[in-house]
């Protein structure tokens, strides 16, 4: 009979749905391992589980048999690109989570996020919902152009000509974009 092999999952900064920060399973050598629930990490999208083999990071194939102890690590992709500007940071999107919902953080590296960059979400048709923090005082032009699935938006307390930011070519065309 085969001896047991340990399979340890480390969330690399995320958390599992049960609140734990690690998960461990024991399986018989030669058996395949089931993937645990996906962890979550604010501002990031979970890509998959990775192992380090011969000093190279590779995604783990859960159809493979476990032949020895193995540690798998969560692989993340950041959802935002932050650019330092006077007074804080400007943000644009790099990746939209699978559920289409985005919440822009109010701070980054202990400085406020004060702007959404021009074309910051341009063409991300999978965006369905966005929360913009009160720290944002500047929204660049054409930010949400091409975001055809966007249905819900929480805006900070500010006065803006919103149509221009949804794809109008000038402020005079706002009525085409904002009822």
Estimate to the nearest angstrom the gap between the alpha carbon of 119 and the chain centroid: 18
pTM beyond cutoff 0.85: no
3-state secondary structure of 24: strand
Burial status of residue 115 (CB atoms within 10 A of its CB: 0-12, 13-18, 19 or more)? buried
Collect the ranges in the chain with pLDDT lower than 70: 1-27, 52-56, 157-179
User: pLDDT tens-digit profile of 131-174?
Assistant: 999 898 888 888 888 888 988 888 776 554 444 455 544 444 44
Q: Are 50 and 73 in contact (CB under 8 A)?
A: yes
Token pair recorded at residue 83: 């650019």
């Amino acid at each position: 009979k085969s001896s047991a092999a340990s399979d340890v999952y480390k969330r690399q900064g995320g958390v599992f749905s049960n609140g734990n920060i690690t998960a461990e399973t024991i399986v018989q050598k030669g058996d395949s391992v089931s993937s645990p629930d996906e962890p979550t990490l604010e501002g990031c999208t979970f890509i998959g589980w990775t192992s380090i083999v011969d000093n190279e990071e590779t995604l783990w194939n859960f159809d493979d048999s476990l032949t020895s102890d193995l540690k798998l690590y969560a692989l993340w992709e950041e959802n935002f690109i932050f650019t330092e500007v006077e007074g804080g940071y400007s943000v644009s999107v790099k990746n939209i989570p699978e559920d289409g919902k985005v919440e822009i953080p109010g701070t980054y590296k202990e400085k406020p996020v004060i702007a959404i960059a021009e074309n910051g979400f341009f063409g991300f048709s999978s965006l369905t919902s966005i929360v913009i923090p009160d720290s944002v005082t500047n929204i660049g032009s054409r930010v949400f152009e091409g975001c055809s699935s966007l249905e819900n938006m929480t805006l900070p307390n500010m006065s803006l000509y919103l149509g221009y930011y949804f794809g109008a070519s000038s402020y005079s065309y706002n009525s085409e974009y904002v009822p």
